[in-house]
Structure 1
Amino acid sequence: MALNQIEEGGVVILAVDGNLDGEGTNALEEKVLALLDNGVTSLLFDFSGLDYINSSGLRILVLAYQRLKKNSGTVAICGVKDYIQEVFEVSGYDKIFPLYTTRADALGAV
């Protein structure tokens, strides 16, 4: 898994490439917690390069959502491939997280 952090218009974008499992989830969780502890209030997960996400990866998204919701923050997701979007739909996460086709769409909405 590769993780790149970009900031654009006050939104921190975490671009995740590859498989989000095992060690990758640990790295992502550490990054998300550090960002939240440093006062970040808008997170955008760019999953356009993501090929797989396991339940631990989904748990990190929920963690970010719960922490940011308390502070009127936002979490959004963009670039989800069809088969990963099915995971979001089956789990009901598509009702929790706004899903956008492109990064530009997400940034315009967030």
Structure 2
Amino acid sequence: MSVPENPDVFTIERRGGVTIFVASPELERIDFALFDEAGDILFEPLRNDPSPLVLIDLSQVDYFGSMFVAILLKCFKLVESRGGMMALCGVSPRASELLRVTALATVWPIYATRREALEAMLSE
């Protein structure tokens, strides 16, 4: 794998108390050596949040592998340890199958759209 031309694998947004990590298509092409850096990007805004609400928007990504699954699990453990909640949205059929096979589809709420996820997360 090569290093992507655009190293910005995620953009970070805030909506009503929810931190949204929007994965770019670069996630599918990222060099394994950059996965730790990508994880640091995810974790940094959460470290000082007492009860983080995190939404991972995968609507621009068709597929991801085990390295990204590991990042999701680390993020989830951090969020859960702080009494927060993590959800996914925009998961492609291909990625959905990976989450189903690994039984991770039962760990996180998965929503079809960002809007649906935000409404559910903010209503709890």
Name whichever structure is richer in strand by fraction.
1
Work out the percentage of aligned pairs sharing the same amino acid. 25
How many residue pairs end up in the alignment? 110
So what's the TM-score if we normalise by structure 1? Answer: 0.90
- Describe the SS at the equivalent of 2:54: strand
Q: Paired residue for 1:4?
A: 11
**Can you give the 5+ residue segments of structure 2 that lack an aligned partner in the other structure?**
1-7
The CA distance in 1 between the partners of 2:10 and 2:75, in whole Å, is 16
Q: Paired residue for 2:39?
A: 29
So what's the TM-score if we normalise by structure 2? Answer: 0.80
**Can you give the 5+ residue segments of structure 1 that lack an aligned partner in the other structure?**
none
- Describe the SS at the equivalent of 1:49: coil
The CA distance in 1 between the partners of 2:99 and 2:29, in whole Å, is 14
78, 103, 106: which one pairs with 2:89? 78
Tell me by how many angstroms 1:52 deviates.
2.4
Supply the RMSD in Å over aligned alpha carbons: 1.7
Tell me by how many angstroms 1:20 deviates.
6.2
- Describe the SS at the equivalent of 1:77: strand
Once superposed, which parts of structure 1, at least 4 consecutive aligned residues long, lie more than 4 Å away? none
